[in-house]
Amino acid sequence: MHLQDNKGWSALKIASQKGHLQVCRWLLEVGARVDQTNHSKQTSLMAASQSGHEEVAKLLLENGAGINMQEQEGWSSLMIACQKGHAEVVKLLLENVAQAYLKTKDGISAPIIACRNGHFELLHTMQEILQRRSYHIERNEEETNGLSKSLDNNIEKSNKRVQQLEIMVHKSSKRAKLLEIRAEHSDRRAKESDTKAQESNKRAKKLERRVQEMERTMKHLENKAEGSYERTKESEKRAEKYAKVAEELKRRAEVSDR
């Protein structure tokens, strides 16, 4: 598909010049290079523009043809279409944003070429399209400026929001550090409390043992006290008995003395 004849013409360029739309479409589908040039640096789009084949030119543009490419003398597809007076091709090229004021090596542009060849209606068409393009460009610039201002405002708001978030993050970091310090203090206090609780448990156990010992001692003393009390009662009974015996003896002694 990329073979060329002695002049460097490819099959696609020949079909484009002849206006064979279906052949051009098939060649592009099987891999023909849309911007392959001949020895004079002419492209298939230039050939279609020279012959006035609008549909072929449109097909080539849809497949990525370089609309502003120039051959070795500096002629573009638009210049060639203007020379031949092909108004529909000129319109197609301009509507696809072909540059109207490219110059050849001789310093002439597409409008001058149209003038030289007496294509007045073509000049009128070019003027209308270029005016529409200028209007759309101005509108696009206005819209772009509006969008830029809006974007600038959004960026400014975003920057402020970012600064606020950075401040919040900084504060949060400080808060997190404080919480970490408090958590460490709490952990230490909890450990100290655990230690104190263990010591308290040990003391409580010791006290329990001492209480048990005291209870045993008290029981022992109570038992001893009960024994002493019983012995005291017996002693008192004996003392009473001895007192009675003494009185009886005293009484007998008194009787004997009489």
Instruction: Residue 45: give its domain's CATH number.
Output: 1.25.40.20
Closest CA to 73 of 108, 45, 116, 47: 108
Is there a contact between 111 and 130 (Cβ–Cβ < 8 Å)?
no
Note down the domain range covering 44.
Answer: 11-118
Inside any domain, residue 49: yes
CB neighbour list of residue 48: distance below 8 Å, 6 or more residues apart? 16, 17, 19, 56, 57, 60, 77, 89
Does 253 fall in a domain?
A: no
Range with the poorest average pLDDT among 46-55, 85-94, 124-133, 181-190: 181-190
> Which residue type does 11 have?
A
- Confidence category of residue 37, pLDDT binned at 50, 70, 90: very high
Does a structural domain hold residue 230? Answer: no
- Interior angle at CA 115, CA 114 and CA 119, nearest 5: 60
Q: What is the pLDDT of residue 245?
A: 82
Please state the domain count of the chain: 1
Q: Does the residue 58 lie in any domain?
A: yes
Domain annotation covers residue 125:
no
- Per the domain annotation, does 78 fall within a domain? yes
> What pLDDT does residue 83 have?
95
Model confidence over 128-179: pLDDT tens digits? 998 888 766 555 555 555 556 666 776 777 678 778 877 887 787 788 788 8
List, in order, residues 6 or more apart from 200 with CB less than 8 Å away. none
* CA–CA dist 92, 107 (Å, integer): 24
* Amino acid, single-letter form, for residue 227: G
* Assigned domain for 91 exists: yes
Instruction: Please check whether residue 2 lies inside any domain of the structure.
Output: no
